[in-house]
Chain A
């Protein structure tokens, strides 16, 4: 009896132990090889517009450093899953050698974990000079650079000239008074003027709010926190903007659908949307789309031509025990962010970067991308969007508070109060 019991139980116990042991076994292998292996979980894979060029750059680097350094890309095409993975890794002290993150507001939390490598000593003048001015403002914490800013997003106004013509409007309005007059004309012509949304993360409406907040409060508005009266005033205007949108704006989470079907005339979005206009837009939509800076708010502290722009992807390095490995990682980062490689990715994908590069006449540059870049370079200042400037909790509460504002549950003051409460939790 006893023997049989033991015989039956043993395999089960062994199974449990083998599960526990297998977790420890993986680490043993990596130390032996003389070649330094750099692990890079990446989202620039599969259908991502940067995937092909990115893969080629990694391949070139590995060939040039054969036998010495090898970058191994782990493909994670799903952004939400990627974010969850990175967070778990950082919390459990298994931070990847290189990873990227989108919102600088998240980066601060990552830095605080103490599991990121300090990149300040590697950032010599030569490397730094290849980046745009102020590129590192959001990447510096406690006087140390904890990530390399990479991809850049600007979100000007995209507008449909064909619909504007139908409503008898020429050119994009310069002030909000003119804007509302133009919107009235569009509405009278049976066209929903602009896309707004409160579903998902409320992206497009969040961008309008960002434009308004800085148009009213000026470029330094986020320095005073949510107490600045500009946030309440901007909410009032944003609520009014919801009178000029589609009936499903509350709850809508597909940014751009109506614009692509030519049901709305105006959309705030960035260079990554250009590809969608070409692929998913109705016939000849691309030819009627133009780019403009958002209007000026009369009496506001903002200046004409301001652009909302933000680092959309930063590269961070996990803390390394081995100095040689850290140097190898930086070597790869310098390669990836070199003007030549960035130019390749940018021209192929339409995305913008914080790294400067020269364009020659022979380069095929996207029309709308060029316009965005021109507008960005002409802008008196560039201000990050709302979500990148507040804590993640406030950013997450924004669509909820906004739908409450639009449906009349909250006054503009209560709307801001709601955002403040999310911060204090």
Chain B
């Protein structure tokens, strides 16, 4: 008994600094966001209580609907395209073909460069007048396909979204690391039983790295919800708000002196993030994998 009390006091004392920091830098700001979301406030003059009016205004707002839709497309595109691509590449690299280390570095390399630099690079590729993409289309005789990629109502959002999906290096490295921790004995046993490489991947590797895949899916989806600089730099949400996402919308509302609405958007984002994490955990039954 005596020991347990000691242990508890010790544990509490150990946790206290972290708890204080957590409260100061997470709980307090999040609470503040929720409180401000209930106010009618321009950030300058004294605030008034608005109840849920900021939220009901949001749900009647076209830009909000577009932003939510875009964020969900983004989250699912990352989970259903980017992560599977990363898994396939990781499985192939795990077979250690010739030059796999070089390939691993090449795939990971974009993550070393600032995302802003890459985004600006793609801005130059999509450029209507001098861009590589239109230049390439002209070169192969498809000049009728030339397009103002970031300036079309239909093409702007796919253009902003799609290139990010190609950068799979981050998830690939995580998955590759997990694959290498799978014991070789499983594979030896399987090959004695005559299982092909593909069968081994499907029946041994994939089930064993499920926890990591769940982590990657969560990270990818949360990433999709947090999108900001890609849109800000390429289109600033345009044309006609068709590429808007929640964080960009939040940022603009702050600039517009709509602090209440901006914080309501922040609350929606927190809730969405929580929902995504819960759903993925459910789907992968991941609680037992120590995510």
Nearest CB in chain B to that of A403: its residue:
B239
Q: Which residues of B contact A246 (CB under 8 A)?
A: 129
Write the nearest CB–CB distance from B123 to chain A, whole angstroms.
9
- Asked if B44 contacts A198 (CB within 8 A), the reply is no
Is A407 in the interface zone, CB < 8 Å from B?
Answer: yes
- Asked if B127 contacts A248 (CB within 8 A), the reply is yes
Beyond A5-B13, A9-B17, whether A91 also contacts B43 by CB under 8 A is yes
Is B240 in the interface zone, CB < 8 Å from A?
Answer: yes
Give the complex CA separation of A252 and B153 in angstroms. 14
Is A253 in the interface zone, CB < 8 Å from B?
Answer: yes
Is B183 in the interface zone, CB < 8 Å from A?
Answer: no
Give the complex CA separation of A396 and B235 in angstroms. 14
CB neighbors of B among A385-415 (8 A): 391-393, 396, 399-401, 403-404, 406-407, 409-410
- Asked if B13 contacts A110 (CB within 8 A), the reply is no
Write the nearest CB–CB distance from B48 to chain A, whole angstroms.
13
Which candidate, A10-18, A54-62, A207-215, is the interface stretch facing chain B?
Answer: A10-18
Is B258 in the interface zone, CB < 8 Å from A?
Answer: yes
Q: Contact check: which of B151, B238, B240, B256 meets A393 at CB < 8 Å?
A: B256
Q: Which residues of A contact B152 (CB under 8 A)?
A: 250, 407
Q: Which residues of A contact B236 (CB under 8 A)?
A: 199-200, 253, 399
Nearest CB in chain B to that of A14: its residue:
B17
CB neighbors of B among A97-118 (8 A): 109-110, 112-114
Residues on A lying within 8 angstroms of B by beta carbon are 1-2, 5-6, 8-9, 12-13, 15-16, 87, 90-91, 109-110, 112-114, 198-200, 246-253, 391-393, 396, 399-401, 403-404, 406-407, 409-410, 421-422, 425
Q: Which residues of B contact A9 (CB under 8 A)?
A: 13-14, 16-17
- Asked if A198 contacts B258 (CB within 8 A), the reply is no
- Asked if B150 contacts A87 (CB within 8 A), the reply is no
- Asked if B235 contacts A404 (CB within 8 A), the reply is no
Q: Contact check: which of B61, B241, B261 meets A400 at CB < 8 Å?
A: B241
- Asked if B255 contacts A392 (CB within 8 A), the reply is yes
Give the complex CA separation of A110 and B42 in angstroms. 10
- Asked if B257 contacts A400 (CB within 8 A), the reply is no
- Asked if B235 contacts A251 (CB within 8 A), the reply is yes
Give the complex CA separation of A90 and B259 in angstroms. 14
Query: Which residue, of A9, A13, A198, A248, has the highest number of chain B Cβ atoms within 10 A?
Result: A248
Is B200 in the interface zone, CB < 8 Å from A?
Answer: no
Is B148 in the interface zone, CB < 8 Å from A?
Answer: yes
- Asked if A250 contacts B44 (CB within 8 A), the reply is no
Number of A-B contacts (CB under 8 A): 115
Write the nearest CB–CB distance from A416 to chain B, whole angstroms.
14
Given A199-B238, A400-B241, A410-B240, list of 15 further CB < 8 A pairs?
Answer: A2-B9, A5-B10, A13-B16, A13-B17, A109-B42, A109-B43, A114-B45, A199-B235, A248-B128, A250-B152, A251-B151, A396-B256, A401-B240, A403-B239, A425-B258
Q: Which residues of B contact A87 (CB under 8 A)?
A: 43
Give the complex CA separation of A396 and B238 in angstroms. 11
Q: Contact check: which of B20, B127, B253, B255 meets A16 at CB < 8 Å?
A: B20
Give the complex CA separation of A253 and B150 in angstroms. 11
Write the nearest CB–CB distance from A256 to chain B, whole angstroms.
15
Q: Contact check: which of B17, B43, B151, B241 meets A15 at CB < 8 Å?
A: B17
- Asked if A393 contacts B16 (CB within 8 A), the reply is no
- Asked if B151 contacts A16 (CB within 8 A), the reply is no
Q: What is the interface residue range for chain B against chain A?
A: 35 or more
Give the complex CA separation of A399 and B24 in angstroms. 39
Is B237 in the interface zone, CB < 8 Å from A?
Answer: yes
Nearest CB in chain A to that of B233: its residue:
A253
Dominant SS among interface residues on chain A: helix
Q: Which residues of B contact A404 (CB under 8 A)?
A: 239-241
A and B contact pairs by CB, cutoff 8 A, 8 listed: A2-B6, A2-B9, A16-B24, A87-B43, A109-B42, A198-B239, A248-B151, A407-B240
Is B156 in the interface zone, CB < 8 Å from A?
Answer: yes
- Asked if B6 contacts A251 (CB within 8 A), the reply is no
Beyond A247-B128, A425-B57, whether A112 also contacts B13 by CB under 8 A is no
Give the complex CA separation of A425 and B235 in angstroms. 23
Give the complex CA separation of A410 and B127 in angstroms. 25
Q: Which residues of B contact A5 (CB under 8 A)?
A: 9-10, 13-14
- Asked if A16 contacts B17 (CB within 8 A), the reply is yes
Q: Which residues of A contact B253 (CB under 8 A)?
A: 425
Q: Which residues of A contact B261 (CB under 8 A)?
A: 425
Write the nearest CB–CB distance from B44 to chain A, whole angstroms.
4
Q: Which residues of B contact A391 (CB under 8 A)?
A: 256
- Asked if B20 contacts A425 (CB within 8 A), the reply is no
Give the complex CA separation of A68 and B129 in angstroms. 58
Give the complex CA separation of A2 and B151 in angstroms. 66
Q: Which residues of B contact A399 (CB under 8 A)?
A: 236, 238
Q: Contact check: which of B61, B150, B239 meets A425 at CB < 8 Å?
A: B61
CB neighbors of A among B234-291 (8 A): 235-241, 252-253, 255-258, 261
Beyond A248-B128, A393-B257, whether A400 also contacts B44 by CB under 8 A is no
Give the complex CA separation of A73 and B252 in angstroms. 29
Beyond A396-B252, A425-B61, whether A250 also contacts B239 by CB under 8 A is yes
Is B102 in the interface zone, CB < 8 Å from A?
Answer: no
Is B21 in the interface zone, CB < 8 Å from A?
Answer: yes
Q: Contact check: which of B10, B61, B148, B237 meets A248 at CB < 8 Å?
A: B148
